[in-house]
Structures are given as C-alpha cells and as structure tokens.
Amino acid sequence: MSEVALEQATGLNLPQSKERPWLFGLLIAPNGVLANGLISGVLSYLLRKQGVGIGRSSEIIALLILPQSIYFLWSPITDFWIRRRTWLIVGAIASALTMAAAFHGGRLDTPSAVSLMFLSSCFGQLIVSSCGGMMGTLRSEATRRRASSFYQAGSLAFGALGIFGLASLAEKFSIGPLGWITAALIAVPALAALAAPEQPQQSKEGIKQTFACIWQEFKTTFLRWRAVPYTLLMLFPMCSGAAIGLLPGIAQDYGFTGQQMAWMNGLGGALLTAAGALAATLVPTRIRASVAYLSVGILNEATIAILWLGPLHPSTYFVGATLSLFTIGACYALFTAVVLEFLGNSGKSGCARYSIINSMGNVPVAYMTAVDGHGGKLWGARGLAGTDAVVGTIGAAILLTYFLTRKRPHPPSY
C-alpha cells in the first residue's frame, strides 16, 4: 500500500510523526478492561461468590459477549455528528456508568443488572468501532501495522490487569463500591483519546450526498472480486484462538496442577499474547498483511500440534501452551492489519465498514470451539489439539497459496 496513494485517498495531511500508533494501545484500554477483564474474566468469579450456578453464569456471560458479534448494527453512529475520538469517550463513559448502575443493585444475576451490563457491553463496542475508524485514517502501511499490534496488545494487557485488579479488590470491597472502581477503570483510560490526532468531523454535506458517498465506499470495499478472498480470510478456521479457550480443560490430562493452569491461562497467558501482538511489529511491511497473517497462522497451528503429538506430560503442556499463546497474539495483531488492508481508508463510513469486517472474524471462534470440542470428545485431549492443528493448517495453506500468487492491490480511492 503506497503511503502517498493512501494519503491522497484519505484526504488527510497529518505528519506521520503525529499519528502516534502506540496510542491505540491506550485507546482500546476501556474495552480491554470491560470485555477481557470483566465480562470474559472476573465476572464468573463474582457471580459464583454470590452463589450463582455455573449454568446461569455461562448464560449471562454468553449474552454479554453477544454484542461483540452484532455491534455492526449500531456502530455506524460513530461515523456521524461528532468526531470519532469524541465517540470513543462517549462510549467509554456510557459503558462505565451503566456498569456501575448494574453493580449498584447488589445482585449481578437479576434481570435489571443483566440488562444494564448488556447495555454497557453495547456501549463498549463504540470504543472498538471508533478505534477502527481512526486506524483507517493512518497513512503508511508501517504505521498501520504498529497501530494494529499496539491495539491488540493494549486490549490483552489491560484485560489481564483488569482481571488481576478486580479479583484482588473483590476480597476487600462489597459489590457496590467495586462497581464504581470498575467504572473508573473503564472510563479513565478513554481520556487518552484527547491526545489522538484530530479526526475530520463527519458528514457536513447534505444527506443525499453523504449517503451517495457512503454507498460508493461500501461498493468499493465489499462489492467486487477483491472482497471475496478477504471475506474468506475472516471466515476460515485458522488463527481463531478457539483452542486457547479450551486449553484449561485439558491441562490436567498433561499433569498440570490447578494453580499452574490458572497462571498459564490467566494473567501469564494474557501477557504472553500481548507480547506476541507487539512482536508482530517485527514482520517487515514489504510482506503484505494477509501473507504475514496466514504464515504466522500456520506457525501457530504448529505450536498447537506439540500438544497433539507430544506425550501427556507437564512439559509438553507448558511448551505447547506458551508458544501457542505467544503466536496467537501475533495472529491477533496481524488480523487487525488484514482488516485494515480489507478496509482501505476510512472515508466517511470507516467505523461501519470496520465493524462489519471485524465482526466476521468472530465467526470462526464460535464454530472452531464446537469443532475442537467435538475432536476432544472423540479422541481426548490430544484429539482436541490435533483437530485444531489440522483444520487450521489446511485453511491457512489454501488461502496462503492464493495470496502468494497475487500482487498486492492498490488502495481503493473514493
């Protein structure tokens, strides 16, 4: 992707030194605390402390995760009326206040508390779409790659810190005060948006001209042959990370203790994936994002194969899980880079198009969790890892063959 071409396409003229790609590690922090730290992290622990059963807890958490897959339904709002960085702050504050209100009631499993937490999760996705729209305005491929890595690393690292902090404080505070602490952890990092490069205010033209421009952007992104392989990149089974969520369930088969498993797949695992995301910045930008993503994806499946082919021994689990967590972090960072490659420049509808593309990436997580689980049911712990390794490698190899035989496309102009 040519820096000059992308600059012309976006219409921005910001010096590259002012784009500050590292800032996206802070901009995504509010959603990292909310989604990874609370909802997918410590919430099940808080529910169990209140005597909520595993089944009911799973239902609540599954509902709260749902907005991550359907947020493209309301995310287009972040392309209108106010600047994207302002929408990020609005989303974070709204999410924080509704989460504090949910905790204020005392019980987290009541219909009102669950409804408020669901609303908080919906507001939190405005942070994601705002970040995506802002990343789409970055000019150079190198800056976009670095932003993708910091974005994923920040989400994972702040999520891990959120789990550690909230789990520790849960022993010292009642649920009400803990809600205000959670709200502060969500809202305060959003102030980093004030340091973000100023985004152009959206949609100053008339309604007819605005929607004509947006329709043209959607056609250029989605309604052409170039979109087909990129859509398959989002939907194919490699780099889903589904096996990571299932690894705790097979740790005992390899002789891992509960405490060792908790560290490996908890705070330690999150920091490993964050480190892997940052390591993705070492991939040269002359290698297009799609090729780098698929290549690292095959490497990730090779690390999972250690658990498939190795003996049922603690060292096998330690080596396989460590390498798998690190490489999946790199996959996550390169996935975001692929999303930006698919997106092109933000234009007037960058948040909406980013949300649609990014949401498709959640589909393989769902179906590969089921596929891997079926493999484990049929063939045990090794079968679970082997299923993921084989299916993921086949999917990555097919698409890698395609992208290696195609030239890097020029960025679309609107």
Residue (of 240, 26, 245, 38) closest to 121 by Cα position: 38
The pLDDT confidence band at residue 200, using thresholds 50, 70 and 90, is: low
**pLDDT the model gives residue 23:** 94
pLDDT at residue 198 tops 90: no
**Count, residues in the chain:** 414
pLDDT at residue 410 tops 80: no
pLDDT at residue 413 tops 70: no
**Residue 188: exposure state from Cβ atoms within 10 A (0-12, 13-18, ≥19):** middle
Read off the pLDDT of residues 114-142 as tens digits, 9 standing for 90 and up.
999 999 999 999 999 999 999 988 888 89
The pLDDT confidence band at residue 44, using thresholds 50, 70 and 90, is: confident
Is residue 349 within 8 A of residue 132, CB to CB? The reply is no
**pLDDT the model gives residue 288:** 92
pLDDT at residue 146 tops 90: yes
**3-10+20-200 and 210-404 in the same fold:** yes
CB-CB neighbours of 252 under 10 Å: 13
Read off the pLDDT of residues 272-325 as tens digits, 9 standing for 90 and up.
999 999 999 999 989 999 999 999 999 999 999 999 999 999 999 999 999 999
**pLDDT the model gives residue 16:** 52
Domain map of the chain by residue range?
3-10+20-200, 210-404
pLDDT at residue 251 tops 90: no
| Pair of tokens at residue 352 | 């909406």
pLDDT at residue 412 tops 60: no
The whole-number average pLDDT for the span 160-178 is 87
**pLDDT the model gives residue 299:** 96
| Pair of tokens at residue 113 | 């508390």
**pLDDT the model gives residue 11:** 40
The pLDDT confidence band at residue 10, using thresholds 50, 70 and 90, is: very low
Is residue 385 within 8 A of residue 305, CB to CB? The reply is yes
Q: Using CA atoms, how far apart are residues 45 and 365, in angstroms rounded to an integer?
A: 23
Domain 210-404 bears CATH identifier 1.20.1250.20: yes
CA distances from 121 to 18, 62, 184, 187, 396 (A): 31, 12, 15, 13, 32
Please provide the CATH number assigned to the domain covering 3-10+20-200. 1.20.1250.20
pLDDT at residue 3 tops 70: no
CA atoms lying within 13 Å on the CB side of residue 369: 10
Read off the pLDDT of residues 59-114 as tens digits, 9 standing for 90 and up.
898 899 899 889 989 988 988 888 899 999 999 999 999 999 999 988 999 999 99
**pLDDT the model gives residue 294:** 96
First to last CA, the chain: 15
The whole-number average pLDDT for the span 235-239 is 93
